[in-house]
Each structure stands twice: as structure tokens, then as C-alpha cells.
Structure 1
Amino acid sequence: MKKILLLDDNLDIIQIVEEVLTYEQFHVQSTTKSAEFVSIAEKYRPDLFLLDFRLNDGNGGDLCRALKAHTSLKHIPVIIFSAYFSPNVDFSDFGCDEVISKPFDLDVLVQTVQRLIEQSMPANSENS
């Protein structure tokens, strides 16, 4: 079962995303605290990260940069989702693999998660 680590400070979004992705046979671990995120990631070893951009205690873009600079986590795809879009913010500058705008279509979320995980897997790998 593929693992996803989710960071959002909105418990309603966490609940919906967990429910949908669990139904799609993913194991989802969630947190609302950006300060703990990297240490959780090091222990959990997810197949994909889902990060909210605007957080009460941090910034998902900055966290994405930290993940992409981390020796053992940099290969893991990152999706940033946000209701915050501004011409002054170029999400690609953070190194994320995909951006999904809030509110998001749940089918698009699932398809994007599946596509990024498949693309990140080595050929003929059975990483469950």
C-alpha cells in the first residue's frame, strides 16, 4: 500500500483527503504542524507529500524546498495545494511536482497522486 504524508491546518480538508485516498487504497498519515513535518517524514517514508501552501505555523512552499534539499526525501513527489494564487508567487520556485488549487476536484486529486507515484517508482518495482 502506497503511503502519503499530508500537511494541512484545516481539519475538514484532512478528513476529506484521508477518506478519499484511503478509499483509493492509500495509507495516509496527517499532521497540522509544519514544525514536525520533516521528522515525521523521515520516520514514515511516504511515497508522496501533500502540502497546504498557507499554514498557521509555516509555509508549504518553504517546507517543499526543505524536502527537496533533504538527502533521503528529495526523490519523493510533492503536491502543493492552495487557495492562495497570486501573480507574485511562482509555485515552481519551491520545487514541487504539482500544484492543485483549492477548492479541488477529488477525482483530479486522486489522478494526480496516482500519476506522480507511478512516475516516481523505478521500473518493475514492488514498493508496497
Structure 2
Amino acid sequence: MLKRILMLDDNQDILDVVKEALLYERFEVTITSEPENIIETIKAYKPDLVMLDYKLNGTRGDDICRQIKAHHQINNIPVIICSAYLNKDDLLACGCDAIITKPFGLDELVGTVNGLLLVD
């Protein structure tokens, strides 16, 4: 069974590239640029991992991560925050499991995802 990944970013180009890279690596990927109702989206899709952009229109990825980690139904899902605005201490304080600095290489992306999902 393929591992499921949900990615939220407001940049469609990044969503498209990441989706293609992860599909190639044999993951099931759903992308969205809409932070509204993201908790409900996560509960419905049941991903094995969530990737969040840090700076989104109207909200921030660290705030969404805090919501995920505080929600009893989904708090066990690993969260990666992708950010060009890097303050690792602040981002780790939100409870994320990994941080990827933008711009990032596809090897780093795949390695981080595989590491969190323990994929061989």
C-alpha cells in the first residue's frame, strides 16, 4: 500500500514539482493551496505525512502544525514544514517533525520524507 502525503503550499509551481517527485518515488500525493479547513481535509484524507509551507496566504504553517499536534485524531501524523524564512528553533517549537529549507533539492525532499516514514 502506498504511503499517503498531503502537501499545503500557496505556490502552484512548488506543489506541481513536489507532487511529481513524490509520485515518482511511489507515494500517493494530494496537494492543496487552501489552508481553510485543513484539519478536516487531513481527517478525511488520512495522510501518513503532512507537508506545510511556512508562509501561506492568511496563515502560517507553524500555526497549522500546532493545530495538527493538538488534535487527538491526527497528532501522530509527522509534519514537515518547508520554509525560506528559517528560524529552526521557532519552527521546531510548533511540534513539527522536520524542516526543509527552501529552495530544496529533490534528494533532500525524498530523503526527509523517507526518513519520517521509514521507507526502504
Could you say which TM-score interval applies, normalised by the shorter chain?
over 0.9
Q: Output the CA distance in 1 between the equivalents of 2:95 and 2:5.
A: 18
Q: Counterparts of 1:91-110 in structure 2 under 5 Å?
A: 91-110=91-110
Aligned-partner residue type, residue 99 of structure 1? I
State the shift of 1:86 in Å.
4.5
Alignment correspondent of 1:126 = none
Distance 1:102 1:30 in 2: 18
Q: Secondary structure at the match of 1:35?
A: coil
Structure 2: distance between partners of 1:28 and 1:47: 10
The residue number in structure 2 matching 1:117 is 117
List per-residue Cα deviations over 1:54-107 (Å, max 9, x = no partner).
Answer: 0012110000000001111100100000111248x6111110000010000110
SS in 2 for 1:19: helix
How many residue pairs match? The answer is 118
| CA distance in 2: counterparts of 1:48 and 1:115, whole angstroms | 11
Equivalent positions of 1:71-110 (< 5 A) are 71-86=72-87, 90-110=90-110
Task: Give the 5 Å matches for 1:4-19.
Answer: 4-19=5-20
Contact preservation (8 Å) 1:46, 1:76:
yes
Q: Aligned with 2:112: secondary structure?
A: helix
Structure 1 segments, 4+ long, off by >6 Å, are none
The letter of the residue matching 1:105 is G
Q: Structure 1 unaligned runs (5+)?
A: 120-128
TM-score (normalised: structure 1)? 0.88
Unaligned runs of 5+ in 2: none
